Amino acid sequence: MKIRLLEVIEDSPIELLLLADPSEKLVKEYLSRGQCFVATKNDEVIGVIVLIRTRPETIEIVNIAVREDHQNKGIGKRLVLFAIDKAKEQHIKTVEIGTGNSGLNQLALYQKCGFRITGVDRDFFIRHYKEKIYENGIQVIDMIRLSLDL
Ligand code: ACO
Ligand code: ACO
């Protein structure tokens, strides 16, 4: 598997991006101002990660997704560790990430990569998404915020 920057002329892997974030509007908004990296295997895109600069010396991983038939094989973890390395190269001091209250496996992954919970953005998914979203049988309401100091 290889990880590379998505070229400007390439189509973004929208189906994958929508796995992590069902709002096409939000996805397009942060794609336009972020760096999108793709994981490929035999020239097929099987994973994606999007980084945006937020505050000074801070980036946020705003989207990470692995194609369903390739999940649970360590690709998500490699993408997160790749983003951390990119941040270090760019002299970033803090990497942030957020996930829904129902994202039990995501919370496990991020904490295994060193992230710590910093807070809760209550009602984030009620404010920003029209449809009700469910995951693991739990309604997605609040965003759990995590960060990693480099
Ligand atoms: N308990 C303990 N550890 C767990 C659990 C759990 N319930 N679930 C996962 N993990 C661990 C795994 O053990 C592994 O760690 P290890 O290698 O140290 O054992 C790690 O978390 C994740 O494993 P990967 O195989 O690297 O994960 P995967 O390739 O499946 O990618 C991802 C994870 C990106 C979340 C994938 O499942 C996906 O695309 N999901 C749908 C989209 C999504 O929810 N994206 C995140 C939304 S939040 C955002 O985008 C900022
Ligand atoms: N994803 C989705 N749902 C899950 C998951 C998961 N990963 N894990 C558990 N659940 C759900 C189950 O589906 C079930 O919900 P459902 O009936 O709607 O499907 C529910 O959580 C829990 O199921 P139970 O069978 O009722 O739980 P159990 O009898 O195992 O009790 C407990 C849970 C008390 C935490 C038990 O595992 C335990 O004693 N653990 C060790 C001690 C402990 O950790 N206690 C809590 C410490 S915090 C405190 O004490 C305040």
Is pLDDT of 40 > 80? yes
From atom 21 of ligand 1, which residue's Cα is the shortest distance away? 109
Residue 120 CB partners (closer than 8 Å, separation 6+): 101, 142, 143, 144, 145
Pocket of ligand 1 from Cβ distances under 6 Å:
19-20, 61-66, 71-77, 97-99, 103-106, 108-109, 112
Is pLDDT of 142 > 80? yes
Q: Write down the pLDDT at residue 15.
A: 94
102 Cα: distance to centroid of ligand 2 (angstroms): 14
104 Cα: distance to centroid of ligand 2 (angstroms): 13
More confident: 47 or 9: 47
91 Cα: distance to centroid of ligand 1 (angstroms): 26
d(CA 127, CA 134): 15
Q: Write down the pLDDT at residue 38.
A: 96
> 75-89 and 104-112 are packed helices; what angle lies between their axes, rounded to 10 degrees?
50
Domains identified in the chain and CATH numbers: 2-149 (3.40.630.30)
Q: H helices of the chain, where? A: 14-20, 24-31, 75-89, 104-112, 124-128
User: pLDDT tens for residues 67-119?
Assistant: 999 999 999 999 999 999 999 999 999 999 999 999 999 999 999 999 999 99
